Structure 1
């Protein structure tokens, strides 16, 4: 993590300062907020699930 440049979000791919770290990956505040407000019936929900799976796949590789 570079304090001057931020972290790259595993969901949107943008570099942001604020967010959360899960295992060794970063999710920005904006994506986190969108994820928790997305209904399971929405197409975007499946995208979020796919991106989150990448965290566990990278950890177990």
Structure 2
């Protein structure tokens, strides 16, 4: 029963694609606190930064098309 409550309260992060409870919405796209923190701290020259950009582009395109 508790796992059902978690599922109902959580959302799927557009970056890490896992269910999380705490995060932010940017243009109706959910980003968990962990990914938000990583994105802010990641240097633009880091290969992981490109991954973040790709995931955000995918999420925004999906939202616009739906």
Q: Return the TM-score normalized by structure 1.
A: 0.84
Greater per-residue helix proportion: 2
Deviation larger for 26-35 or 16-25 = 16-25
- 1:19–1:26 CA contact under 8 A, matched in 2: yes
Instruction: Please say which structure displays the higher CA radius of gyration.
Output: 2
Taking only aligned residues, the RMSD between alpha carbons, in angstroms, comes to 1.4
Shift of 1:4: 3.6
1:31 aligned partner: 35
Question: How many aligned positions are there?
Answer: 59
Structure 2, unmatched stretches of 5+, are: none
Deviation larger for 33-42 or 3-12 = 3-12
Structure 1, unmatched stretches of 5+, are: none
Aligned ranges for residues 1-61 of structure 1 at < 5 Å? 4-5=6-7, 6-61=10-65
